[in-house]
Chains A and B, each alone.
Chain A
Amino acid sequence: MFKDFDWAVIGRALPFLVDGMGMTLQLTVIAIFGGICFGTLLALLRISPFRPISFVAGSYVNFFRSMPLILVIFWFYFLVPQIIGRPIGGFYSVLIAFVMFEAAYYCEIIRAGIQSVTRGQIMAGTAIGLSYIQAMRYIVLPQAFRNMIPVLLTQSIIMFQDTSLVYVVGLRDFLTSADLIATRDNRLVELYSTIAVVYFILCLLGSLAVRRLQRKYTI
């Protein structure tokens, strides 16, 4: 049955696919970086002893975790431009959506990481005169991040797969690029299988990295 397939289409489409992969990786990296930064801030707010602050951060997290990602993308692509009166553009709207959405998940991972560091450590830090913020920065967060590297990476792998949703706003990432060629040349099987293999290999490499790091950082 394979005789009808034209695998050469992959070679011809390669530059186009690589270009799309560039977009996918760019989105992934920026969204992970932004998500972790914003997520750390949210986590610190969420463990704040000052109730109103932790309530706001908690509500944010619960809200975004109850929303499908695709809906959040639609908001920033379709609704927010109407409110502010000008278009945001595909790239920036998905980027904002990813960062805000992923931050909610990263927040929970980071919060658990922070809480995995015992109270005695903060006490020991403040006992030598460090302020709360210094104790967080030099003592709690470095240990917390070590503890949560595996989970953060796992979430980031999911993030990498989720970037394919930019399809809906017409941004040309890896999946969209493949889809365009597939429908133009009517080579659905060839392209869909190829990109499945690529996604599989990349995510597998990610998981292997997680496992290695897990072994390296177990204290």
Chain B
Amino acid sequence: MIEIKNVSKWYADFHVLDDCSTFVGKGDVVVICGPSGSGKSTLIKCVNGLEPFQKGEITVDGTSVGQKGVNLNALRSRIGMVFQNFELFPHMTVLQNIALGQTKVLGRTEPEAHDRSMLLLDRVGLVDQADKHPAQLSGGQQQRVAIARALAMDPIAMLFDEPTSALDPEMINEVLDVMVELAKEGMTMMVVTHEMGFARKVADKVIFMDEGRIVEEANTKEFFEKPRSERAQEFLSKILSH
């Protein structure tokens, strides 16, 4: 479904991504972890073309992302993305946030979009917040709206860029619950996160990155029980020690 082949990216002289390759099959949940600045977020932003890359190839469902002439907007509409800082549109209500892409990109009518949005809001448990503005919601609620907004486009895959990093601890679970649910339903997901509990529970595969490289890629059980690389062992011992 998502294939990343020898992708490299530079910011001027700085090598952000160094020859990264991986594969995400349909229905797979892949967790990407690693220290900050290791290129995790950049890598998943390359998948839907939000970040350009200089070398290598990424294909999503057979469409090459980096290639010239590819309709990136059409491709992006099929890949959901959830950001660290939610990035809800502050001048719109919750409902309008979820409906915007449906009407302007997918061409659904207002009533169609409304019904679909309400269905999704119900799913993330926020029906009663439909007419509020994002600023009136808690961080956890905002992130759940952001997930609903991405799901409204009926995506073939979802990308999560540190979805719980900006949240207060007591709000992390309400967001993770929605994500676990999604994973169980068979959504293809790439998740950048430090939530190792989430990784253990639902991930099929864990990718560990450091300094722009994919240092280790293993199935979840293997990664947590006996990480091969020293760097991953060190990382795990640090974040799992508490």
Contact = CB atoms under 8 A, between A and B. Distances in A.
| B and A form one assembly | yes
Interface of A: 120-121, 123-131, 134, 138-139, 142-143, 146, 219
A124 B74 contact: no
A124 B85 CA distance: 10
B83 A120 contact: yes
B83 A124 contact: yes
Given A134-B104, A138-B100, A124 B89 contact: yes
B150 A128 contact: yes
Interface residues of B, number: 27
Nearest to B74: A129
Nearest to A217: B91
A130 B83 CA distance: 16
Given A134-B104, A138-B100, A126 B73 contact: yes
Main secondary structure of the interface of A (DSSP, over half): helix
Contacts of A138: 89, 100, 104
Closest 7 CB pairs of A and B: A129-B77, A124-B87, A128-B101, A129-B105, A127-B81, A120-B87, A129-B76
A130 B89 CA distance: 13
A123 B101 CA distance: 13
A1 B100 CA distance: 68
B14 to A, nearest CB: 19
B145 to A, nearest CB: 12
Given A126-B50, A128-B150, A121 B89 contact: yes
Contact of A123 (B73, B87, B104): B87
Contacts of A134: 104-105
Contact of A130 (B81, B87, B104, B150): B104
B91 A128 contact: no
